[in-house]
A and B are shown apart, each in its own frame.
Chain A
Amino acid sequence: MSTRGDKGIIRIIVVAVVLALLLAWAEGDLAFIGIGPWDAYFVRILNLAAINAVLALSLNLVNGFTGQFSLGHAGFMAVGAYTTSLLVMTPQMKKTVFFMEPMFEPLDRICIPFLPALLIGGAVSCVFGVLVGIPALRLKGDYLAIATLGFAEIIRLVLQNVRRLTNGALGLKGIPHVVNLWWTFGVGIAVFLFFRGFVRSSFGRALIAIRENETAAELMGIDIFRHKLLAFAISSFVTGVGGGLMASLLTTIDPVMFKLPTTFQILLTVVLGGMGSLSGSVIAAFIVTFMTEFLRVVEEPIHLGVWSIQGIPGLRMVIFSALLVIVVVFYPRGLLGNKELTWENLSSPVSRLFRRRVAS
């Protein structure tokens, strides 16, 4: 028993060290021994993938584990992104950006470090989550989806129209580019580990019970509404943090970014990975992010010897949708269903392969 535990700890340390070395290499922190950094474009995709994983995990907590179909994700992302951005932007930059109408006092002079700003972004998003959740979570199924969708649109329209706070449709520019792989992967891993502990706790089991059968869950003595609301609050906090990271990575945000398609892309990631599978969400986030980038090839002109094909803008979305249909047909519950990727089920096919080799 103790040796198994030791093995687990060693495994975790090895993975952590390897990951840290890889990140350091990619970031260029190992440049003093002459390797790295990696290609900036590739690093940017990695950053995007990690942020998408954070967003997918937080949506999965509500939609996958608790079984409450929410479509308000983009709204909470927007709250986190705007809050974080407004707190970290320098006063000079704010003056430049808010050229139509000046910004509210005293926010135009406030400028704080990124980490507290990110956490405040999450907290504000969480407050919005609770405010939206209290009325919306009394609804079920399609009605909940429509209500949360409506709230997200309201948030977006408010952002678009309170010009002295958000600069309206012009959006924000010049957000300090603080995030790097350490930030995105750090937050991603922290969120993953927290969620893993959370869903394995009795609280997490209660959420799954609510998803499986609300009446029976109520009969177990689970306070349905409180549990749903807490899941929703945690999810909107993490979503807000994800939005803040995204804002800092892109350095420019505007209200149009936070329309329904954004929610949809996250939802697609969650469905692809498997509703109720944390590792599934992470894997799917990387697949989706990398595919949307690498499929850009098909939109550029291709020369095949004598033929040359004109690039068709938007074609990658067509291919993407087709792939999604294939996945949904062959893996209706997503790539991982509601299972998790563990060392055991990861190593068993590999070790089986080796055993067969030895036998033959």
Chain B
Amino acid sequence: MLELQDLRVSYGAIEAVKGLSLSVPKGKIVALVGANGAGKSTTLRAISGLIKAKSGKILFEGKDITNWPAQKVVKLGISMVPEGRRVFPDLTVYENLLLGAFTRTDKAAIARDLEAVYRLFPRLEERRGQLAGTLSGGEQQMLAVGRALMSDPDLLMMDEPSLGLAPVLVQEIFALIKRINESGKTILLIEQNARAALELCDYAYVLETGVVALEGPGKELLRDDRVRKVYLGEQ
């Protein structure tokens, strides 16, 4: 579904992603794991059109979408849950969700997806009239995910969905990601919580300083000695 070919992205003179190639098959959960500065977020930002790639290609269902503006990428069916949630604090939960459907015009379909989001996150329906800034961290994360789903994406990208959440909530979020995937969405996930991500995903790429250091099915990587030492902190 999504394919990156030799993607290079740099911030000024500093190259953050140095020739990254990976592919995300339809209907799967793919995880990018790696330490800070490995280029995970930069990769997602380049796919969603927030920053420009220096060279390389981004293909979505065979179409070259390299350096497309963000609004076109969203329309095409890729949406992203940004790092640190970034809900719109002075708007209500309902308004936040509506903004997720900004590029869509079919009112009936939007209403249907709103219902689906409320079914997935009953808490959001309870608080639909509340300002997003007054929600707890976990609720804001749910709102950010719900908002991204409102564009009815085929591919959902999530940047550190478990960041700053209590352990109980982390489990809840991961269960939700599984459910969203089962409902037919392909998921590309970034996580620092390597163990949880590797357990959840179908396939994973381990990034180190802008290149793929290791790749394989998540369960296999969990058994890999190097991964266990460096990312899972086992002796």
Contact = CB atoms under 8 A, between A and B. Distances in A.
A221 B147 CA distance: 12
A206 B102 contact: yes
A219 B69 contact: no
Interface string B118-160: 0000000000000000000000000000011001000000000
Contact of B69 (A217, A223, A338): A223
Interface in A196-238: 202, 205-206, 208-209, 212-213, 215-223
B90 interface: yes
Contacts of B39: none
B88 A213 contact: yes
A208 B102 contact: no
A257 to B, nearest CB: 35
Q: How large is the interface on A (under 10, 10 to 19, 20 to 34, 35 or more residues)?
A: 10 to 19
Interface in B34-91: 48-50, 69-71, 73-75, 79-80, 82, 86-91
A222 B103 CA distance: 7
B210 interface: no
What band does the interface of chain B fall in when counting residues whose beta carbon is under 8 Å from A?
A: 20 to 34
A216 B102 contact: no
A5 B134 CA distance: 31
Given A218-B50, A221-B103, A202 B86 contact: no
Contact of A202 (B74, B90, B102, B151): B102
Given A202-B102, A205-B95, A205-B99, A219 B74 contact: yes
B74 A220 contact: yes
Contacts of A215: 50, 82, 86
B91 A205 contact: yes
Contacts of A338: 90
Contacts of B50: 215, 218-219
A108 B203 CA distance: 76
Nearest to A337: B90
Given A202-B98, A206-B102, A221 B75 contact: yes
Given A215-B82, A216-B82, A223-B71, A208 B103 contact: no
Given A202-B102, A205-B98, A221 B90 contact: no
Given A215-B50, A220-B99, A220-B100, A209 B91 contact: yes
Contacts of A209: 88, 91, 99
A220 B95 contact: no
Given A218-B70, A220-B100, A220-B151, A213 B86 contact: yes
Contacts of A223: 69, 71
Most chain B CB inside 10 Å of its own CB: which residue of A202, A216, A218, A276: A216
Nearest to A276: B90
Contact of A208 (B71, B73, B91, B151): B91
Nearest to A218: B70
A219 B86 CA distance: 10
Contacts of B102: 202, 206, 220-222
Contacts of A276: 90
A222 B98 CA distance: 12
Contacts of B73: 221
Interface in A219-278: 219-223, 276
B48 to A, nearest CB: 6
A216 B86 contact: yes
A87 B46 CA distance: 52
Residue of B49, B82, B88 contacting most chain A CB atoms (<10 Å): B88
B88 A219 contact: no
Contacts of A208: 88, 90-91
A171 to B, nearest CB: 42
Contacts of A219: 48, 50, 70, 74, 79-80, 82, 148
Contacts of A216: 82, 86-88
B92 to A, nearest CB: 10
Interface in B147-175: 147-148, 151
B163 to A, nearest CB: 15
B42 to A, nearest CB: 14
Interface string A102-141: 0000000000000000000000000000000000000000
Contacts of B148: 219
B108 to A, nearest CB: 16
A206 B147 CA distance: 14
B71 A221 contact: yes
Nearest to B81: A219
10 contacts: A213-B86, A216-B86, A216-B87, A218-B49, A218-B50, A218-B71, A219-B50, A221-B75, A221-B151, A338-B90
Closest 10 CB pairs of A and B: A221-B74, A221-B103, A216-B86, A212-B88, A221-B71, A218-B70, A220-B102, A213-B86, A220-B99, A223-B71
